[in-house]
Amino acid sequence: MRLHSVTTQVGQIIAQCQHISDPYDLNVFFADAQQIAAPLDITGPTNGAVIITAIGPDQNNNLSIYWQKRIGSTVFNSGITSASLSQYAISGVSMNAIQTFVVVEAFARPGLWQFASKLITSQDSPVLSSQSVLPARFFGTNIGIGRLDTTATARECT
């Protein structure tokens, strides 16, 4: 439930932004995610990760990844890849050049399970995860294409 809260709440914050700066706003989003997830460590180097992805149509109206940013362990792989984008297409809905979606994924390997896993035959701690997909308002340097502003020197959204 905690990871679901992370992906939903952070996704809702990001989806309301009209402009996102990197790294300023992204650092705030990741800090918000960690605060919501506490005491789970989802932004540290080993036990979790948060991945934020912007997706939307390209010039041929095919779903594409505009950008993807992560914090935390690289052991956890995003479910959003070029190969997996077709599952996000909605049958019968035509996307246009101003539609962008934000996907927030959170992964955790809770510390409690490390003790319990020693009692079970498997030595691996289970991985918990959650994903939320929300329509976004942000546009960045080119209206409607979900680009990050990497030239900003301050927060744009947070």
In a domain? residue 23: yes
In a domain? residue 86: yes
In a domain? residue 157: no
| Nearest in space to 33 (alpha carbons), one of 66, 4, 76 | 4
Spatial CB neighbours of 148, under 8 Å, sequence gap ≥ 6: 20, 21, 22, 26, 54, 67, 69, 140
User: Quick one: pLDDT at residue 143?
Assistant: 41
User: Quick one: pLDDT at residue 51?
Assistant: 97
* Rounded mean pLDDT for each run of 10 residues along the chain, 158 residues in total: 94 88 92 94 92 85 87 94 74 59 90 56 70 73 59 79
- ω into residue 135 within 30 of 0, thus cis? no
Question: What range defines the domain where residue 59 resides?
Answer: 2-136
- Helix, strand counts (H, E) of the chain: 3, 4
Query: Distance between CA atoms of 114 and 100, rounded to whole angstroms?
Result: 39
